[in-house]
């Protein structure tokens, strides 16, 4: 970090920026990864100990952060994955644009400096104001967060965060949040005592994620995290194979998988050799995945961040889906199956955006690589804009350029 910069920021922020730089995060391109969606998110919510204290959180914070409060309340797990995001509906819609949504990861290693991630990193409460965020996209926001600890072991099990404008980083907010966390930890202890006679002390262990996850959006190689907590970067070919098997959960014949990976259905000998190597890699990272043969398929569910995009689109969170898609799955791959997958997801997104009739969303998609030359998207955006909108000139200019 530049020494002049470090002198201008608070020590806690400067240290966080250094960690982000050491992780080689690009502040202009950071996008929070979606690690949980659909069944995986619901399972993580059910299994997380903080779920037992949600009524306390909602009574003390969320009830005061609903309509017109300009405050969003988030609960994350120890890995920085947001499990619940509640509060002001309009502000939550705006927060979708930076992927501040359930299932997204906001640890420092994912997005750099932010209150939830930095609180987890330092093990204490913290307030991050505007420009103190590392990612440029997050700088319009402020936030305060406090870790939640297991009431018996003292181990960090999650984080409680409030996000919004400058008011959420006011001096009184941190002690208010610390008091809420203390109430949450008391509730967890009471619940633990109620259950101890029936379930024993084995309940003290922190639950592990129930489903392995694969990150492939905007990456040329996949990052796999297993239920044992181990993570590893896969080779390009293994990333393609695992992505296709996760996408085609019903399974694929050797010939069809060879066609999707190599472009040649006759390349089954090459495919089988690669599958043997993939199985060895998975044995240490996520042995429950298998894979199985005849047809080739995964032996257990695998959550992917591209699946998270589809889940967001299905839930109507189109802005978040567009932001999450980014460069798409394994953008450097020329495998026919990956091209089919990209086309499938893009078609779903495109249809949803056209149905939404939102000029903002249509323009946002038109400014991506996949939407830049889509004249139907730009025409729909022009139709959706008010007659006197200053953005009409931009859209008309883009349409003229496409027609020339």
pLDDT digits over 112-155, tens only? 999 999 999 999 999 999 999 999 999 999 999 999 998 878 88
- Is pLDDT at 284 greater than 80 in this prediction? yes
Q: Same CATH fold, 213-303 and 11-202? A: no
Q: Tokens for 135, please give them.
A: 């990612």
pLDDT per position as a tens digit, 16-74: 999 999 989 999 999 999 999 888 899 999 999 999 999 989 888 876 556 667 899 99
CA distances (Å), origin 220, targets 234, 239, 243, 333, 338 = 10, 8, 12, 7, 11
Fold of domain 11-202: Beta-Lactamase (3.30.450)
Counting Cα atoms < 13 Å in the Cβ hemisphere of 332 gives 10
Q: Sheet containing 231-233: give its strands across.
A: 231-233, 223-225, 213-215, 303-304
Q: Give this prediction's pTM.
A: 0.61
- Is pLDDT at 262 greater than 60 in this prediction? yes
Are 13 and 128 a contacting pair, CB within 8 Å? yes
Query: What residues does 213 pair with on adjacent strands?
Result: 225, 303
Domain ranges of the chain: 11-202, 213-303, 312-403
pLDDT per position as a tens digit, 63-86: 655 666 789 999 999 999 999 999
- Can you count the helices (H) and strands (E) in the chain? 17, 9
Task: Specify whether domain 213-303 bears CATH 1.10.10.10.
Answer: yes
């Amino acid at each position: 970090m530049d020494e002049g910069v470090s002198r201008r920021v608070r020590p806690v922020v400067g240290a966080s920026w250094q960690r982000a730089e050491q992780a080689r995060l690009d502040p202009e391109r950071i996008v929070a990864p979606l690690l949980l969606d659909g069944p995986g998110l619901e399972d993580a919510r059910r299994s997380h100990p903080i779920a037992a204290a949600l009524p306390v959180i909602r009574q003390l914070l969320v009830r005061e952060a609903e309509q017109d409060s300009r405050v969003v309340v988030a609960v994350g797990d120890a890995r920085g994955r947001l499990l619940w995001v509640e509060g002001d509906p309009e502000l939550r819609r705006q927060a979708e644009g930076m992927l501040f949504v359930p299932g997204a990861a906001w640890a420092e290693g994912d997005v750099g400096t932010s209150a939830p991630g930095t609180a987890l990193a330092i093990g204490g409460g913290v307030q991050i104001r505007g420009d103190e965020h590392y990612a440029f996209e997050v700088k319009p926001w402020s936030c305060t967060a406090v870790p939640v600890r297991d009431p018996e072991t003292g181990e960090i099990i999650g984080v409680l965060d409030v996000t919004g404008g400058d008011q959420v980083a006011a001096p009184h907010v941190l002690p208010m949040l610390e008091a809420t966390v203390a109430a949450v930890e008391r509730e967890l202890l009471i619940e633990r005592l109620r259950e101890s006679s029936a379930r024993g002390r084995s309940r003290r262990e922190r639950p592990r994620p129930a489903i392995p996850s694969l990150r492939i959006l905007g990456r040329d190689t996949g990052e796999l995290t297993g239920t044992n907590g181990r993570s590893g970067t896969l080779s390009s070919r293994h990333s393609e194979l695992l992505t296709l098997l996760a996408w085609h959960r019903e399974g694929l014949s050797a010939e069809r998988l060879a066609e999707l990976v190599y472009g040649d259905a006759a390349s089954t000998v090459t495919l089988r050799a690669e599958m043997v190597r993939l199985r060895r890699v998975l044995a240490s990272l996520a042995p429950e995945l298998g894979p199985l043969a005849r047809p080739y398929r995964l032996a257990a569910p695998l959550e992917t961040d591209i699946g998270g995009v589809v889940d967001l689109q299905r839930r109507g969170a189109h802005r978040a889906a567009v932001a999450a898609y980014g460069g798409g799955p394994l953008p450097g791959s020329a495998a026919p199956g990956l091209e089919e997958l990209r086309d499938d997801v893009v078609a779903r997104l495109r249809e949803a955006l056209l149905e939404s009739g939102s000029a903002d969303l249509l323009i946002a998609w038109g400014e991506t690589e996949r939407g830049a030359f889509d004249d139907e998207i730009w025409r729909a955006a022009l139709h959706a804009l008010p007659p006197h909108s200053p953005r009409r000139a931009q859209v008309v200019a883009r349409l003229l350029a496409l027609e020339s």
